[in-house]
Structure 1
Amino acid sequence: MAGLTLPTPLLRMLPIAGVILFWWAMASSGAVRPFLLPSPIVVAERILADVASGTVFVNVGYTLYRALTGFAIAAAIGTTIGLLMVVSRTAKWFFDPIVSVGYPMPKISLLPIFILWFGLDDASKIAMIAAGCIFVITANAYAGASGVERQFVWSAQMLGASRLRVLTDVVLPAATPQILTGYQIAIPVSLIITLVTEMIMGGDGLGGQLLIASRYANSPAVFASIVEIAIAGAIVVNGMRLLRRKLLHWHEENAVSTD
């Protein structure tokens, strides 16, 4: 008799189910006070209350709007700079030192400057998110474009392709996997920076909701906010993974079985 094989999505959920089961066991054992570790049931009830009131949708909407807007700005600028650094010596001379210095720098240190420039509204938060994502996207775009086989470029040039056609028809498709890797790294970074800025500056959003819950020492609301943040993050990260798979349907990485 063949053994029972669970579908892959269910197998991926088993570790999460294990964590929730351990959480419930610890909360029910009495070893930890309910204030420090509320039961998953209590937290689930709070999440359902947020869903019923519509609060969760408003906060998720604000957070994703800021995160995805900042990410989109960084993706457009960072990808362009990374590609320009490969095709233009002047661009590489200008941007390479900036990227080298800016990449390892803690970007959150720029937040006071953005607050001075843009105030306490969404503009400063989005600027902070874009600044936090742009360097990793630029670095990956440059690495992908500079790693393209020279034979492909030379063949296109021998056939009379202009520099622009070589960039759009040869370099960009070949560099796309590495560029998308940069996007996959930057997406969770954008969410992290969004939550940090919301917690520092307040206002609507999941980070602001978490801040308010912690100020009032509302333990179930704190844990509910954390779960909501985790769910929103998982949706965005997996959405980017599916987008990568769709865009790279022709690539060898999608031809390998992952059973």
Structure 2
Amino acid sequence: MAGSAQNTAVPVGAEAKPAPPRSRLGRRRPGAFLDLSVQVGVVLALCLAWEAGARLGAINPFLLPPLTDVLARIGEDAASGAVFVDLGLTLYRALLGFFIAAVIGIPVGILMSRVAVVRWFFDPLLSVGFPMPKVAFLPIFILWFDIYDTSKVIMVAFSCFFPIAAATYAGTTGLDKWPIWSARSFGAKEVEILWEVNLPMALPQILTGLQVALPVGMITTVVTEMLMGGRGIGGSMIMAGRFADSVGVFAGIVEIVALGFLVVKSLELLRARLLAWHPETRR
């Protein structure tokens, strides 16, 4: 017994093993809860000020209806199913145009950084087209295509293409040359270098371009619906405005805010998952 206890005893002066680190999902950034609390508090304060200003007569209820009336209208539209149809159509047009722009813009940006002829052709187009208002082309797209979903989706894709292609070109051009040279020294082919070195290194910049393009696509979708009419959040807002239905107009604004928030946050979560290996996620 004494020998057994002597064998299992911890030697004097021996250092204890450090506890295993918690998983990355279990760690919390200091101050994250405080940041979230402040953001929620600001939103609640704005909502209370909106409601109080309309109820107390500080603001004309027609110009700014009470928030409770707006939420009640959204509840009525949700009960009838109209709000889900409008949200679904707007989301469908925005995401389809965004996906088309990503499928075209990412390869174009990569080719611009690797093929001189492609860069010579697209660089002036990006320089001219990036800052100009894309909605100016809407009458042309209506003449070329139709007044239904086709022209709206193409308008969204056209608006999203420029930030995606520009971000991809910038991300794949300014890469560190040492990993590429190392891969070549080990006999890696150019296709392998592209998929296993270039794209992972440029992925943060590409995702930033996608995060910039997605809100642009949402804005373009709502604007085209307002200008062309039909079902969708933008079309419903214009119809409500024609009938002087201020509650309906603000209901559409609240719906756009909620939809945009969910879509943008979903893309942020996708970015964090795709960049789980990157230092920005571990930070």
Common fold by TM > 0.5: yes
CA distance in 2, matches of 1:88, 1:37: 54
Q: 2:39 aligns with which of 12, 27, 42?
A: 12
Q: Give the partner amino acid of 1:34.
A: P
CA distance in 2, matches of 1:97, 1:253: 32
Higher relative contact order (CA 8 A, sep 6+): 1
Q: Give the partner amino acid of 2:106.
A: T
* Alignment correspondent of 2:8: none
Q: 1:209 aligns with which of 232, 236, 242?
A: 236
* Alignment correspondent of 1:73: 100
CA distance in 2, matches of 1:158, 1:68: 41
Q: Give the partner amino acid of 2:118.
A: A
CA distance in 1, matches of 2:67, 2:122: 49
Matched, 1:36 2:63: yes
SS of 2:237's equivalent in the other structure is helix
* Alignment correspondent of 2:224: 197
Cα distance, 1:31 vs. partner? 2.1
Cα distance, 1:11 vs. partner? 3.7
Q: Whose radius of gyration is greater, 1 or 2?
A: 2
Give per-residue Cα distances to partners, 1:45-70, cap 9 Å, x unaligned: 10110111111110000000000000
| Count of paired positions | 252
Matched, 1:144 2:171: yes
Q: Give the partner amino acid of 2:131.
A: P
Q: Give the partner amino acid of 1:181.
A: T
Q: Give the partner amino acid of 1:192.
A: I
* Alignment correspondent of 2:13: none
Q: Give the partner amino acid of 2:139.
A: P
CA distance in 2, matches of 1:65, 1:222: 21
CA distance in 1, matches of 2:36, 2:123: 42
CA distance in 1, matches of 2:120, 2:187: 27
Cα distance, 1:10 vs. partner? 4.2
CA distance in 1, matches of 2:138, 2:125: 18
CA distance in 2, matches of 1:163, 1:114: 39
Give the 5 Å matches for 1:178-257: 178-256=205-283
CA distance in 2, matches of 1:135, 1:58: 29
* Alignment correspondent of 2:91: 64
CA distance in 1, matches of 2:60, 2:113: 58
Give the 5 Å matches for 1:97-116: 97-116=124-143
Give per-residue Cα distances to partners, 1:205-236, cap 9 Å, x unaligned: 00001010101000111111110111001000
Give per-residue Cα distances to partners, 1:13-68, cap 9 Å, x unaligned: 11110110110111112122211111111111101101111111100000000000
CA distance in 1, matches of 2:99, 2:33: 37
CA distance in 2, matches of 1:154, 1:25: 64
SS of 2:58's equivalent in the other structure is coil
Q: Give the partner amino acid of 1:107.
A: K
* Alignment correspondent of 2:147: 120
Cα distance, 1:8 vs. partner? 5.4
Cα distance, 1:148 vs. partner? 1.1
Instruction: Give the % identical residues.
Output: 50
CA distance in 2, matches of 1:14, 1:31: 22
Q: Structure 1 regions of 5+ residues with no counterpart? A: none
Q: 2:51 aligns with which of 24, 32, 39?
A: 24
Q: What TM-score does the superposition give when structure 1 sets the normalisation length?
A: 0.94
CA distance in 1, matches of 2:127, 2:227: 28
Give the 5 Å matches for 1:166-181: 166-181=193-208
* Alignment correspondent of 2:187: 160
Aligned CA-pair RMSD: 1.3
Q: What TM-score does the superposition give when structure 2 sets the normalisation length?
A: 0.86
SS of 1:144's equivalent in the other structure is helix
